[in-house]
Amino acid sequence: MKKNTQAKFKGGKEGYCNICGQYSQLTRDHIPPQGCVKPTSVELRTLTHYLSQLGEKPVNSQSGLNILSICGTCNNSLLGTEYDPELIAVTEQVARIVRVQKELGLSLPEKIDLIVKPQRLLRSVVGHILAGKLPIPGEPPMPAPFPDALRNYFLDQSSNISDRFEVYYWVYPSNKQIVINLLSIGSAMGEGSISSSCLLKFFPLAFWMVWDKPDSFSIDLTKISQDKFKGLDETCEIVLDLRNRPSFNYPEIPGEGRYIMCRNDSTFLVQPKKPKGFG
Q: What is the pLDDT of residues 95-120, one digit of tens each?
A: 998 888 777 777 778 899 999 999 99
Quick one: 240 exposed, middle or buried, by C-beta within 10 A (0-12, 13-18, 19+)? buried
Spell out the residues 6+ positions from residue 192 whose beta carbon is closer than 8 angstroms to its own: 214, 216, 217
| Residue 84, pLDDT above cutoff 70 | yes
Instruction: Tell me what pLDDT residue 44 has.
Output: 92
Q: How does residue 1 score in pLDDT terms, banded at 50, 70 and 90?
A: very low
Task: Convert the pLDDT of each residue in 127-180 to its tens digit.
Answer: 999 999 989 899 999 999 999 999 999 999 999 999 999 999 999 999 999 999
In a 3-state reduction of DSSP, which class is residue 62? coil
Whole-angstrom distance between the N-terminal and C-terminal Cα of the chain? Answer: 34
The band of 6, judged by pLDDT with boundaries at 50, 70 and 90, is very low
Spell out the residues 6+ positions from residue 210 whose beta carbon is closer than 8 angstroms to its own. 165, 166, 167, 168, 194, 196, 197, 219
Q: Give how far Cα 153 sits from Cα of 31, 32, 199, Å.
A: 19, 19, 16
| CA 181/CA 126 separation, integer angstroms | 10
Region of poorest pLDDT, from 61-70, 230-239, 269-278: 269-278
Q: How far apart are CA 9 and CA 208, in angstroms?
A: 23
Q: What's the pLDDT score for residue 10? A: 65
Residue range 121-130: mean pLDDT, rounded: 98
Neighbour-count burial of 17, counting CB atoms closer than 10 A to its CB (0-12 exposed, 13-18 middle, 19+ buried): buried
Nearest Cα residue to 70 out of 13, 143, 150, 142: 13
Asked if pLDDT for residue 5 goes beyond 70, the answer is: no
- What is the rounded radius of gyration, in angstroms, for the C-alpha atoms of the chain? 18
Confidence of residue 9 (pLDDT cuts 50, 70, 90): low
- Across the range 203-224, mean pLDDT stands at 96
Q: What is the pLDDT of residue 3?
A: 45
